[in-house]
Chain A
Amino acid sequence: MTLRLWDPFRELDALRREVDRAFEDYGAWKWPFSRTAFVPWVSARTYPLLNVGEDKDNLYVEALAPGLDPDSIEISVLRDTLRIAGQKAPLNPDIKPEAFHRSERGAGKFVRTLTLPVEVDSEKVSAQYKNGLLLLTLPKHERAKPKQITVAVN
């Protein structure tokens, strides 16, 4: 890091990049429960939506994924990439298409990968599926934890 004098043009450029970044994701964000999530020719939309949290020791990833078949959920971590795959269980296939008044939920298989901000210990990752939310607990790797450095005063 270098110390630099204040340059208004650099500030302006930084602002422009910030604005670009803010609008970058905008096109991808759609209604969270839209059935288009599972209609390939409409959109290959990100599914499931994820919220990420952290504390000192762990990263937490929560996925909005109601009605999954719990046996179909596959989670793997390779270095800093998390992969979540699974299947949203379809309704009883015996129901005739003409019996539907509304069909908005959709069903099908999905895969999503996420680049994690820190290195995690892939051996100790745990997951629970509750009320349609999938919660992953990813313990941070020892190397990724900050070290407290004490300052000796003479």
Chain B
Amino acid sequence: MKETTVPQKVEQKAPDTREESRTLIPAVDIFEMDHGLAVVADLPGVEKDGVEIQVDNNILSIRGTAKSLLPGEPLHREYQLQTYFRQFELGDAVNREGIRAEMKHGVLTVHLPKAEASVPKKISVQVA
């Protein structure tokens, strides 16, 4: 599966520091199973409702908004939670309708089932 980034329409003169324009690229595992592909992404700090998955023009987009749990005044900082964003190009072999996703302990799993057409069919040859 090819990783891709669709050029987004950006408002002219939009400063780079705007929250939407700064994103983190989450680490992913992608593997194939008999019935399809699975994309597993680490999205720490993202709630179930904070994740947005879209398929548009063969492009799978994953976006997650992370929220920190840390109360009080910051003393020491090693990371910053931001919006996660990553895109992949899907082949024709994925059944768009069957895509489903689940979230557990900050790990997103997207299941991409194979399209019916790409499951090999056996054709019997009839002898006349």
Q: Which residues of A contact B (CB under 8 A)?
A: 29, 32-35, 46, 49-55, 58-60, 62, 64-68, 70, 91, 95, 99-106, 117, 128-133, 135
Q: Is the CB of B31 within 8 A of A104?
A: no
Q: Is the CB of A55 within 8 A of B33?
A: no
How many Cβ-Cβ contacts under 8 Å join chain A to chain B?
Answer: 124
Q: Is the CB of B106 within 8 A of A51?
A: no
Q: Is the CB of A100 within 8 A of B69?
A: no
CB<8 Å pairs between A and B, sample of 19: A33-B26, A51-B74, A53-B70, A55-B72, A62-B68, A91-B29, A95-B31, A99-B33, A100-B32, A104-B27, A104-B29, A105-B27, A105-B28, A131-B45, A131-B46, A132-B44, A132-B45, A132-B105, A132-B106
* Stretch from B10-18, B76-84, B119-127 forming part of the interface with A: B76-84
Chain B residues within 8 Å of chain A by Cβ, number: 35
Q: Is the CB of A53 within 8 A of B40?
A: no
Q: How far is the CB of B42 from chain A (nearest CB, A)?
A: 4
Q: Is the CB of B30 within 8 A of A52?
A: no
Q: Is the CB of B73 within 8 A of A105?
A: no
> Which of A32, A33, A65, A99 is within 8 Å of B32, CB to CB?
A99
CB-defined contacts of A95 to chain B, threshold 8 Å: 31, 33
Q: Is the CB of B28 within 8 A of A132?
A: no
Is residue B117 within 8 Å, beta carbon to beta carbon, of the partner chain?
no
Is residue B47 within 8 Å, beta carbon to beta carbon, of the partner chain?
yes
CB-defined contacts of B76 to chain A, threshold 8 Å: 50-52
CB-defined contacts of A70 to chain B, threshold 8 Å: 105
